[in-house]
Amino acid sequence: MADRLIEFYGTECSHCKKMEPLIERLEREERVKITRLEVWHNSQNADFMNKVDRDEKGNPLCGGIPFFYNEKTGKKLCGSISYEELEKWAIGK
């Protein structure tokens, strides 16, 4: 499953919940799919997030959620972001 758009999130995370309407809008308007991986209750997803949440030098980048990762471009976004930022991350607008 390469080239996914991924959101790492926590079930009880208030910041993640704020992003849900923006993700739904992006999927609807741009016809993309964002794979949502829960990390607070799933250690496999948490391990994967920690693996990709690194800068060029291998240091932690975001260190929290929501964390967005574009497997195709390698672009990463941290925290609650605007719809415009999310759209640009997903489709390069």
Taking the domains of the chain in order of start, what are their residue ranges? 5-91
CB 15 within 8 A of CB 80: yes
pLDDT tens digits, the chain, 93 residues: what are they?
568 999 999 999 999 999 999 999 999 999 999 999 999 999 999 999 999 999 889 999 999 999 999 999 999 999 999 999 999 999 976
Architecture, CATH, for domain 5-91: 3-Layer(aba) Sandwich (3.40)
Helices (H) and strands (E) in the chain, counts: 3, 4
Distance CA 3, CA 74 (A): 9
Do the Cβ atoms of 10 and 45 come closer than 8 Å? no
Decide the pairing of beta strands 76-78 and 67-70.
antiparallel
Residue type present at position 32 = V
Residue 56: what pLDDT? 86
